[in-house]
Amino acid sequence: LAPDISAWRSLLVKSKMSSSGTVKSYNAHKGWGFIECNGQDIFLNKKDLRGIIPEKGTQVTFNIVQEQKGRQANDVTVIMNPDEACYLGEIKSYNVSTGFGFISSEAFPNQDIFVLKSELPEGQGPQGAQCKFKLIMSERGPTAKDVWLLGQASDQLFMMKQMGMGGMMGNGGMMGNGGMM
């Protein structure tokens, strides 16, 4: 018997149809969460968010793909006011001496986001650290505000604060490297 190609094509077309739902949960530190769509949970991975971090209750549109572990969203579009949006980035550089640095983000390809020490947790910006931030336009161009470190960098900062060593991450301290982080 020959395989039923028309049924296979129909399944392919259905899997590419856009769905809509609401973010049920999302953990920026872990990079995943769930979308509620027609009473079912759909897995949401940071790689499909193009540098945006959704909050619980945010509306999204997406395609559903069947992965080995279940249904997953891809080609996700987050529907929100840009003034309220949070973004995922990586601290590209930070200079303790000058008190500023730059963040890169998939949400703003080929665009450095300026960041001041005052917007970083404990004034710390370890190079390569994942971060969550909001964006404003300033005289310096795109500027990060309300920056939060994510993952390992967040854990390290928390441990240092617990040990009373918050200021030792930069400028030759425990995580510093001559002022440039």
Q: Which residues of the chain have pLDDT under 50?
A: 1-15, 167-181
pTM for the whole structure:
0.75
Confidence (pLDDT) at 6: 42
Pair 103, 144: CB distance under 8 Å: yes
108 CB burial (10 A radius; 0-12, 13-18, 19+): middle
Alpha carbons 90 and 130: distance in angstroms, whole number: 4
Pair 126, 179: CB distance under 8 Å: no
Residue with tokens 């960041």: 115
Confidence (pLDDT) at 8: 39
Pair 160, 168: CB distance under 8 Å: yes
Helix intervals (H) in the chain = 5-15, 151-162
Residue with tokens 């470190």: 149
